[in-house]
Amino acid sequence: MKSLLSVRGLGRSDLEALVTGASAMRDALDRGDLAERTLAGRCVANLFFEPSTRTRLSFDLAAQRLGANVVTLNPATASTAKGESLRDTVLTVSAIGADILVVRHDEVGVPQAVADWTGRPVINAGDGVAEHPTQALLDAVTLQRHFGGVGGLRIAVVGDVTHSRVAGSLIHALPTLGAQLTLVGPKAWMPEDSPVEIITDLDSVVGEMDVIYLLRVQTERGGVIDDEYVARFGLHEIRAARMRPGAMVMHAGPMNRGVEIAEEVAESPRALVTEQVRNGVPTRMVVLDLLGRGAT
C-alpha cells in the first residue's frame, strides 16, 4: 500500500491485516509499551485545511509515538492567505521533506490530487463528503475488539449518509469485512444507488441490529436539524430501550447531543464512542508505519 486514499481498494485480507495490527498496537499502548521508532528521522506533515481536533491530534500523536518529526500546516496562517494555489502549497510542503502527508480538505478528491502532485504517500484524513478511511478502520478495530469479529454483525448506519464521509468509507469497509449493513434515514439523505439495503424507518429495524451507528447531522454541509428528524431518527432513550441485549451504539464524533443521539444514550454502557477514539491512535500508527515502510 503506497497511500491510503480510500477504503475501496482494500480487500478483506488487507482490512483484516490492518485491523489485527491496530488491535495489537492498542494492546501494546494499553500496556504502556514504547513503540518501535520506525519513523525516526522521517517527517509527517499534517495538512488540515479544515478545522479538526480529534483527527489532527490523533495523527500527531501517532506520528510522534513512531518517532517521526511532525510539521503542521495551520490553515489560518498558511500561504494560501497570500494567494498561493493549493498545489503550490502542497508541493512546497513535500519539497521541504515531508515523507508522508496527512490531508483533510472540504473538497472531494484533494488527497488523491496531493498524491498525484507529490508522488508521496498520502493518508486521506477526510475529503468533503467522500471518505474518511482511517475512521472506518478504527471503527472496524472497535467492532473486532468488542464483538470478537465483524463478520455477520447487523449494523445500521443512521442519518445524513450523503453528506457523511464517515458513511462513505463505512459503506465499503464493513460489508467487505462481512458485516450486513443497512442505511437508515430520510430519503433525501440516502444515496440514489447503493449496494446495501436502504430503509427510512428506524423503528422497524432498531430491535434487530447489533450496532446502531449514528451519523452527525452535518449542519456545515447543508444538513438541517429539525424536530421531525430528531423524532424519527434520533436515538433517544425509549428507542434505545428497544435495542437487542448486547447491541451497541457508535458515533464518530463530534456528537450533537440531543439531536442524533440523546444524552442518556451517549452516556450509557451501550456507547462505544470512547473506544472508537481510543482505537484511533493505534490504527493511525499502523497505517503510518505501513506507508513509512513503502510496503506494497
| Smallest distance from a copy of itself to CB 226, Å | 16
Identify which of residues 168 and 280 has a Cβ nearer to a copy of itself in the complex: 280
Q: By CB neighbour count within 10 A (0-12 exposed, 13-18 middle, 19+ buried), where does 271 fall?
A: buried
Identify which of residues 192 and 295 has a Cβ nearer to a copy of itself in the complex: 295
Integer Cα distance of 117 and 196 in angstroms: 34
Identify which of residues 93 and 240 has a Cβ nearer to a copy of itself in the complex: 93
Identify which of residues 11 and 32 has a Cβ nearer to a copy of itself in the complex: 32
Identify which of residues 98 and 209 has a Cβ nearer to a copy of itself in the complex: 98
HEC per residue, the chain: CCCECCCCCCCHHHHHHHHHHHHHHHHHHHHCCCCCCCCCCCEEEEEECCCCCHHHHHHHHHHHHCCCEEEEECHHHCHHHHCCCHHHHHHHHHHHCCCEEEEEECCCCHHHHHHHHHCCCEEEEEECCCECHHHHHHHHHHHHHHHCCCCCCEEEEECCHHHCHHHHHHHHHHHHCCCEEEEECCHHHCCCCCCCEEECCHHHCCCCCCEEEECCCCHHHCCCCCHHHHHHHCECHHHHCCCCCCCEEEECCCCCECCCECHHHHCCCCECHHHHHHCHHHHHHHHHHHHHCCCC
| Smallest distance from a copy of itself to CB 26, Å | 10
Identify which of residues 16 and 60 has a Cβ nearer to a copy of itself in the complex: 60
Identify which of residues 56 and 270 has a Cβ nearer to a copy of itself in the complex: 56
| Smallest distance from a copy of itself to CB 54, Å | 5
| Smallest distance from a copy of itself to CB 205, Å | 27
| Smallest distance from a copy of itself to CB 36, Å | 12
Residues forming the site for a copy of itself (CB under 8 A): 29, 32, 34-35, 40-41, 43, 45, 48, 51-54, 56-58, 60-61, 64-65, 69, 71, 73-85, 88-89, 91-93, 95-97, 219-220, 253-257, 274, 277-278, 280-281
Identify which of residues 91 and 196 has a Cβ nearer to a copy of itself in the complex: 91
| Smallest distance from a copy of itself to CB 69, Å | 4
Give me Rg for the CA atoms of the chain.
19
| Smallest distance from a copy of itself to CB 99, Å | 10
Sign, CA torsion 20/23/27/33: positive
| Smallest distance from a copy of itself to CB 191, Å | 24
